[in-house]
Structure 1
């Protein structure tokens, strides 16, 4: 089994994150630092990641969380800040976040120990729709909404077409819902910066047809079997 898939299958990280760990020299096989991302793990191999020996795969678990503002989307943080994993107070399995929400962004986030599930949802080819509710200062024009819909340059990358709907608007602020399938770093904020607006509040309210619902900030729930199957089949 390819080493990134092995690491993901052990519930340590997604395949993409596993590749980053390999490139950073944080993966060892039989005591030797692994620098071959294409290495195939065999039964007798001992694989360590960041000093942790990987054991047999745990039971797969899947959670939806309302990530609060001021929490890091990570398993650990070298600055000692609170992470989304810290909020899972009654979860015994080791899990990791699927994708990322910025420190100052709230909303729907999945956590799991299933690397294949994470891969399905984060790989660009799968084009999973994500809906964000955005509050900006000021009153945005139809022309600038049109630019957002058709794609804008956010610094060396032109975004794909997006759905952008004005939900409520006053002279002082506007609330919009934006649907994208990409996941570039700070993409929504950079899109609005590209048309001259700063984002005051940003919340992800759905991924595919899974909605944030009534989860309060910091709360989480298990995904249902039908939700898991839907997301895996997208």
Structure 2
């Protein structure tokens, strides 16, 4: 990990401010002054700022879950229904869902113990995209309805933001949204006369569901977690 990132993740300062702290000669690695913010550190060498030791940042966990229908997107359920958190039994830490999917919606949901990352991935100002596949009634969806979905439709809680929409085959839509209102895809499709029969989320920012089987879980690699952080750090830009 680069030194500036190490300091930022350890809570010393923002990434940009950490770079300045390093350039000012205030940081030592293994008791030697380092002025290059891009210097790699592995966490084993002692790092200090102004003579005070910086503890290595805690490794946070992020899990990808392929949620089946009937599983609720909560840590626990008062009605005894299965939860997404219950699907990850060996995490070794307390996890929370990143956003929600309706009980009858399947697909990709993330679990993490990193509250800051969860907030960045779900807060509207960060505009992290979510991509869905929707099987709808009354297909095929004609061009006027597709244009309306792309431009934004007026729902009871206001006009939706422009969305990426394409028809993969008759009555099957791929929708990419930068906001996350309650039941948004279902309400948008119903508004243009095509109620949703089946809905699945296939991507969250740069992370795709891929071949993760329904009901399966996997822990994300550090590189994948960093891609999620990077996606939240550049709101308004296309994520790939």
Match of 1:81 in 2: 81
| Cα distance, 1:203 vs structure 2 | 0.5
Aligned to 1:218: 215
Q: Is the contact between residue 107 and residue 205 of structure 1 (CA under 8 Å) also seen in structure 2? A: yes
- Contact 1:98 1:112 (8 Å CA) reproduced: yes
- 1:159 aligned residue: 160
The within-5 A match list for 1:68-147 is: 68-139=68-139, 140-147=141-148
Counterpart of 1:232 in structure 2 is 229
Asked if 1:150 is matched to 2:151, the reply is: yes
**TM-score under structure 1 length normalisation:** 0.72
Query: What is the rounded CA distance, in whole Å, between the counterparts of 1:143 and 1:213 in structure 2?
Result: 31
2:197 counterpart residue number:
200
Aligned residues: 174
Q: 1:58 offset after TM fit, Å?
A: 7.5
Larger-gyration structure (1/2): 2
SS at match of 2:90: coil
SS of 2:193 mapped into structure 1: coil
Structure 1, unmatched stretches of 5+, are 1-56
Q: What is the SS of the residue equivalent to 1:117?
A: helix
Report how far residue 138 of structure 1 moved: 1.8
Counterpart residue number, 1:12? none
Q: Secondary structure at the match of 1:177?
A: strand
How far apart are 1:90 and its partner, in Å?
Answer: 2.2
Measured after TM superposition, the shift of residue 91 of structure 1 is 2.1
Q: Which residue of 2 aligns with 1:27?
A: none
Displacement of 1:180 = 0.4
CA distance in 2, matches of 1:230, 1:96: 20
For 1:65, the equivalent position in structure 2 comes to: 65
Superposition deviation, residue 93 in structure 1: 1.1
Deviation at 1:59, TM superposition (A): 5.0
Q: Structure 2: 5+ residue runs without aligned partners?
A: 1-56, 232-240
Structure 2 equivalent of residue 187 of structure 1: 184
Q: Distance in 2 between matches of 1:213 and 1:65?
A: 11
Aligned equivalents of 1:215, 1:203: Cα separation in 2: 13
Q: Which has the higher contact order (CA 8 A, sep 6+)?
A: 1
Report the equivalent of 1:24: none
CA RMSD in angstroms, aligned pairs only: 1.4
Length-normalised TM-score, structure 2: 0.70
4+ runs deviating over 3 angstroms: none
> Distance between the aligned counterparts of 1:89 and 1:217, measured in 2?
16
In the alignment, what sits opposite 1:33? none
Tell me the SS of whatever aligns to 2:173.
Answer: strand
